[in-house]
Amino acid sequence: MEQELTLFDKLYCCYYQAVRQVLEESACTPVSKKRMEEICETAAFRESALSILPQLTDRDGAWSCLLSKTEDSLFSSALGDKALKAPLSCLQKAWIASICQDPRFLLFFTEEERDFIKADIPALYQEEDFYYYDRFQNGDPYSSAMYRKHFRTVLTGLSEKQLLKLSYKGKNQLLTDLKVLPVRLQYSPKDDKFRLLCIRLRKGRKGLPYTLNMGKILACSLAGTCQTDVDRDSAPEPPFTSPSLAVFSQKAAEPAVIEIDGRRNSLERCMLKFADYEKHTIYDEERAVYTCSIYYDIQDETELLIDLLSFGPVIRVLEPERLVQEIRERVNRQHRRLFGEVREAF
């Protein structure tokens, strides 16, 4: 039978919520009919008790099996659960079946678990329905069995607070053996890659914060618990809040200040392009331009620079001077390659 994919499923209507509250409260302590009427009036409508209570309390009621009547004419839940969870709707199940198609899904689940989850459930959409125009094509190899194995080993190290022994392909294709304390996994939607934030342990010295690309890990194994003292600011306890990760990032001393003239839908494009940055934008009514301050990490400066250049003449970089000079040098260099020397400065 074809399943109905409706956004507003009856499972979440007020009548079901009223019955749910009755069952949860009666699981803690038996309730009277009067108390059930009060719950129905609060969760649904004043007259709702007229149709709900007979179904719950009458012997031949459709939902009578959910309540047990006590000797003093009170009712207790036959389920005994104080916190009931509503079953998934058909639409939610179809959405989960679609999520199972994501190549990253098998980083967290086995193939058997995936097949069990989506068995006999039609997908809400197909993975090929989407085209990611703002994502690089050389993402991590999620279909690689070795990559999945390394990823799950890292997850185990994170959850059990164990050290990791890594063989890593660094700059110039050089292999490096590392022993690290994993801190957090980070995903970049733009690069479609995972990065491991970790602390590299050194004998007799303070650990160094490292950011490693998961795709460049050639071997990964658990190396037991950490036996040496590690700076707790560098290796924080879960859930690894933003302040505790400050060791992995360094904010630029000044924000990048840009002027947006609004042509070619440039304001909306800028807000979308720089959505993952902290920003502050104001509108200058006299000049009819927007001034946007973008706060970024030093390690993201090159990427930010490239993104700014991609907007061409619809934006103007005002500050800091160091960033302005870098943009001028890049534009001049490109001009020399295409048209020869620049005749006058801009």
What is the overall mean pLDDT for the chain? 84
* Dihedral angle sign, alpha carbons of residues 292, 295, 301, 303: negative
Question: What contacts 24+ positions apart, CB below 8 Å, involve 205-209?
Answer: 206/231, 206/234, 207/181, 207/231, 207/234, 207/235, 209/234, 209/247, 209/248
SS (H, E, C) the chain: CCCCCCCCCHHHCHHHHHHHHHHHHHHHCCECHHHHHHHHHHHCCCCCHHHHHHHHHCCCCCCHHHEEECCCCCEEECCCCCCCCCCCCHHHHHHHHHHCCCCCHHHCCCHHHHHHHCCCCCCCCCHHHCCCCCCCCCCCCCCCHHHHHHHHHHHHHHHHCEEEEEEEECHHHCEEEEEEEEEEEEEECCCCEEEEEEEEEECCEEEEEEEEEHHHEEEEEEEEECCCCCCCCCCCCCCCCHHHHHHHCCECCCCEEEEECCHHHHHHHHHHHCCCCEEEEEEECCCCEEEEEEECEHHHHHHHHHHHHCCHHHEEEEECHHHHHHHHHHHHHHHHHHHCCCCCCC
- Asked if residues 290 and 312 have their Cβ atoms less than 8 Å apart, the reply is no
Q: Give the pLDDT confidence of 155-206 residue by residue, as tens digits.
A: 999 999 999 999 998 766 667 888 899 999 989 888 899 999 999 887 767 7
Residue 248's pLDDT band (cuts 50, 70, 90): low
Neighbour count for residue 241 (Cβ, 10 Å): 9
Whole-number percent of the chain with pLDDT over 90 = 36
Listed by start position, the domains of the chain span: 10-77, 90-129, 145-248, 256-339
Residue 242's pLDDT band (cuts 50, 70, 90): very low
Whole-number percent of the chain with pLDDT over 70 = 87
The pTM for the full model equals: 0.62
pLDDT on residue 317:
93
Q: Is residue 78 predicted with pLDDT exceeding 90?
A: no
Q: Which of 56-60, 129-133, 246-250, 278-282 has the lowest mean pLDDT?
A: 246-250
Tell me how far apart the alpha carbons of residues 317 and 327 are, in angstroms, rounded to a whole number: 9
145-248 topology per CATH: SH3 type barrels. (2.30.30)
pLDDT on residue 339:
80
Residue 344's pLDDT band (cuts 50, 70, 90): low
Name the residue with higher pLDDT: 108 or 8.
108
Q: Is residue 246 predicted with pLDDT exceeding 70?
A: no
Domain 256-339 carries which CATH code?
A: 3.30.70
Question: Which range among 37-41, 202-206, 341-345 has the greatest average pLDDT?
Answer: 37-41
Residue 232's pLDDT band (cuts 50, 70, 90): very low
